[in-house]
Amino acid sequence: MREQISVLIVEDNPICLKVASLVNSMKGHDITSASTAKGALDLCKQAKKPFDLIFMDIGLPDMEGTLLTREIRQVEGFSHTVIIALSAHILSQEPSLNQYGFNEVCEKPLTKQLLEKLLFNHFAQVQESLL
């Protein structure tokens, strides 16, 4: 049974880094963050193994999160990485966001309860060690 997951958080807004603090509360997991699309893409291309989970802000300053997700899906090994879109305007965007390769779309702010649900849904094998 796998007990550790690797997580990339792509978020440029310091106020929204609540996601990072929630994810950082996960015990024993490998957490990496990037504040730009270029930084996130570089991390993916340089990774020895693909991240298991990526939280992707939709509105990054240097590239839309939708386009970045398509680029990440092209990186070797990342076609099956779980990528969860984070948006402040989910109701109007949800149907169109799924076409970009997101596994799930969530509205900001991400709560601890939603984080637990997402991790359980996508990584049930690590549920007991998550939070």
The span from the CA of 82 to the CA of 103, in Å, is: 6
Task: Dump pLDDT digits (tens) for 95-108.
Answer: 667 788 898 888 87
In this prediction, residue 131 carries a pLDDT of 44
Cis peptide leading into 109, omega within 30 of 0? yes
Residue 119: give the domain boundaries. Answer: 11-126
Q: What is the CATH number of the domain that holds 23?
A: 3.40.50.2300
Assess if residue 26 is contained within a domain: yes
Q: HSE (CB half, 13 Å, CA atoms) of 69?
A: 28
Task: Dump pLDDT digits (tens) for 23-76.
Answer: 666 666 788 889 999 999 999 999 999 999 999 998 888 999 999 999 999 999
Cα torsion angle, 123, 46, 40, 63, sign: negative
Assess if residue 6 is contained within a domain: no
The span from the CA of 76 to the CA of 23, in Å, is: 25
Question: pTM of the full predicted structure?
Answer: 0.85
The span from the CA of 22 to the CA of 26, in Å, is: 7
Assess if residue 51 is contained within a domain: yes
Assess if residue 2 is contained within a domain: no
Instruction: Return the DSSP state at 59.
Output: B
Q: How many domains does the chain have?
A: 1
